[in-house]
């Protein structure tokens, strides 16, 4: 991709990310994305064949971002500190981003099961994070690493959904306490 093309692609993608995170996927249409990014609709369609192309690019971007952020906050840290940081980040995001503690999971809720290719992107990202938690627990010789990592992810996902629906970060606070209690 040429430099100018890359700039336009990135501008459209970052506008899409901002709008989907701010308003949700279903509300943010191609016309709004085109207008906000300052590119013609035809230009947008040159890079993304449809709104589904935008959704796929968005999910892939935030999946990678979520995995990278998790690995960053857990690098060289004890398991409890890693899990504490994981939930603390979600709590902070929830307070700053209209209770969308995890845009990836909130997007999956919004999209439903109508697009299995999108569900797979979200599922793969969460499985990657769960596997990283699993490895952290194994490294510190936790007696039931696999079951505990699944439990922590279930707590996290349930708390994100509850925070999103109830417009409060309290479920994330409670889930964080529970997850840390499981590690003692």
- In this prediction, residues 88-101 reach a mean pLDDT of 80
- Number of domain units in the chain: 2
Residues 97 and 146 in one domain: yes
pLDDT of 48 strictly over 80: yes
The string of DSSP letters for the chain reads --HHHHHHHHHHHHHHHHHHHHH-TTT--HHHHHHHHT--HHHHHHH-SSHHHHHHHHHHHHHHHHHHHHHHHHTT--HHHHHHHHHHHHHHHHHHTTT-S-HHHHHHHHHTTS-HHHHHHHHHHHHHHHHHHHHHHHHTT-TTHHHHHHHHHHHHHHHHHHHHHHT-SHHHHHHHHHHHHHT-
Residues 6 and 29 in one domain: yes
pLDDT of 157 strictly over 90: yes
Which of 53-57, 130-134, 136-140, 156-160 has the weakest average pLDDT? 136-140
Please report, for the domain that includes residue 78, its CATH number: 1.10.357.10
Give the rounded percent of residues in the chain with a pLDDT score beyond 70: 98
What are the pLDDT digits (tens) for 18-38?
Answer: 999 888 899 999 999 999 999
Give the rounded percent of residues in the chain with a pLDDT score beyond 90: 58
Q: Which residue range forms the structural domain that includes residue 40?
A: 1-48
Residues 94 and 176 in one domain: yes
Residues 163 and 92 in one domain: yes
Dist. CA 159–CA 86, nearest whole Å:
13
Whole-number pLDDT of residue 1: 61
Whole-number pLDDT of residue 172: 94
Please report, for the domain that includes residue 5, its CATH number: 1.10.10.60
Residues 21 and 109 in one domain: no
Residues 91 and 36 in one domain: no
**Closest by CA position to 63, among listed 114, 121, 136:** 121
Residues 134 and 89 in one domain: yes
Residues 13 and 93 in one domain: no
Count the neighbouring beta carbons within 10 Å of the beta carbon of residue 154.
Answer: 13
Whole-prediction pTM: 0.87
Residues 92 and 169 in one domain: yes
Location of structure tokens 């290719």: 117
Angle at 154 between CA 148 and CA 159, to 5 degrees: 130
pLDDT of 87 strictly over 90: yes
């Amino acid at each position: 991709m040429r430099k100018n093309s890359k700039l336009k692609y990135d501008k459209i993608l970052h506008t899409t990310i901002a709008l989907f995170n701010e308003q949700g996927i279903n509300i943010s249409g191609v016309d709004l994305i085109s207008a906000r990014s300052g590119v013609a609709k035809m230009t947008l369609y040159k890079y993304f064949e449809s709104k589904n192309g935008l959704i796929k690019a968005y999910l892939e971007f935030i999946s990678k971002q979520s995995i990278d952020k998790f690995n960053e906050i857990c690098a060289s840290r004890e398991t409890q500190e890693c899990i504490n940081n994981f939930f603390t980040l979600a709590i902070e995001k929830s307070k700053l981003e209209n209770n969308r503690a995890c845009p990836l999971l909130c997007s999956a809720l919004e999209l439903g099961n109508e697009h299995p290719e999108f569900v797979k992107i979200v599922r793969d990202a969460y499985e990657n994070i769960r596997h990283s938690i699993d490895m952290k627990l194994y490294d510190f010789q936790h007696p039931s690493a696999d079951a505990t990592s699944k439990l922590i992810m279930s707590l996290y996902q349930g708390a994100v959904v509850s925070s999103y629906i109830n417009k409060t970060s309290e479920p994330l606070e409670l889930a964080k306490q529970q997850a840390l209690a499981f590690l003692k």
